[in-house]
Amino acid sequence: MASSLLSSAASGLPPKPQPPSSTPPSSASARPRGFRRFMLARAAAGRDPEPPPLPEGTEKRSLAVRTGEVFLGLAALLVRAGRGGGAAVEEVEAKDGVVWEQRPEDVEAERRRRELTGPGFSFSAAGLLFPYHIGVAQCLIDRGYLTERTPLAGSSAGAIICAVIASGNTMRDALQVTKDLADNCRSNGTAFRLGAVLKDVLDRFLPDDVHIRCNGRIRVAITQLSWRPRGLLVDQFDSKDDVISAVITSSFIPGYLAPRPATFFRNRLCIDGGLTLFMPPTSASETVRICAFPASRLGLQGIGISPDCNPENRASPRQLFNWALEPAEDEVLDKLYELGYLDAAVWADQNQVELIVKNEQPLRVTD
């Protein structure tokens, strides 16, 4: 099934890589111990078998990477508890106290955008699984779902792909830049320096007018810290630097992107948006949610595109969580791109663009 879908996909796909090894890299001993491993095992792998012990001589994960694992596990548990969904802004505000930074003069424009017949697309937090989102985006572009007007929203890596789509850059170029970033991190380390590397990459990759392209179209989810974490939605940007600051803040896993527990955005103390808004709502009347992790393992329902769409030839949940924190080799990044493309193709086959855009046909989602 996967091969037939891929052969019918656009010719712009990168060469199909060899499937990655069935044995994922592991950072645990034969039996996980402690609170961190408990959370990660519960959130990421459900009842999957325990991973094998580390091969002799394998280097253990750094403290910063362990911090990232704890954060991802906590975010997954919060998602399971029912937070961070893709409801309308008004519903999210009522439930979770989300702060929506929309200027008064943009309210009318928001109302007009809701009259679009096509759906918007919301991309989940994903860490370094970014190529999965690139593959999904390429398929949606090829099939005609993503246009220059399509509303977008995202958290963490999902926020980055929204900015990349709005920028007008090609997904092929985005994949190559991702490989360059991964190569830099493999050579020089990831933890504590990923934020600076990412900022430099985005500064070179995004056009100078990216803030104009993003204004009113994309929503970036951020977690604002006060007496309790609150979701912050940003859809207006003053400059290219403002866009880059927003998406990096949305991706800020404490102690992972930089050696500090939080960062500042517009004079607010903030961290990764995936903690409170895993898949934020778009400005469209209907939002298709895209999750780079198996939605069923996170206890999510109503997800449009995820690894649950197409269970053939795919990585295990534990592999995906490992790759979300450590930069994978280029062949794995190609594989993630391919998996995202195939999952989106399965969804697209069930939701024909002509029916959805013109007749507002209800969307089919994964239960």
In three-state secondary structure terms, 77 is helix
Q: In the annotation, is 27 catalytic? A: no
Q: Looking at the chain, which runs of residues are DSSP E strands?
A: 99-101, 120-123, 152-155, 218-225, 229-234, 263-265, 268-272, 287-290
Which one from 26, 156, 167, 316 is the annotated catalytic residue? 156
Which one from 272, 330, 334, 343 is the annotated catalytic residue? 272
CA distance 215 to 217: 5
Question: What's the token pair of residue 292?
Answer: 């780079």
Phi and psi of 223, rounded to 5°? Answer: -100, 115
| Those residues with Cβ within 8 angstroms of residue 167's Cβ, 6 or more apart along the chain or in another chain | 205, 206, 207, 210, 213
Q: In the annotation, is 241 catalytic? A: no
Residues annotated as part of the active site: 156, 272
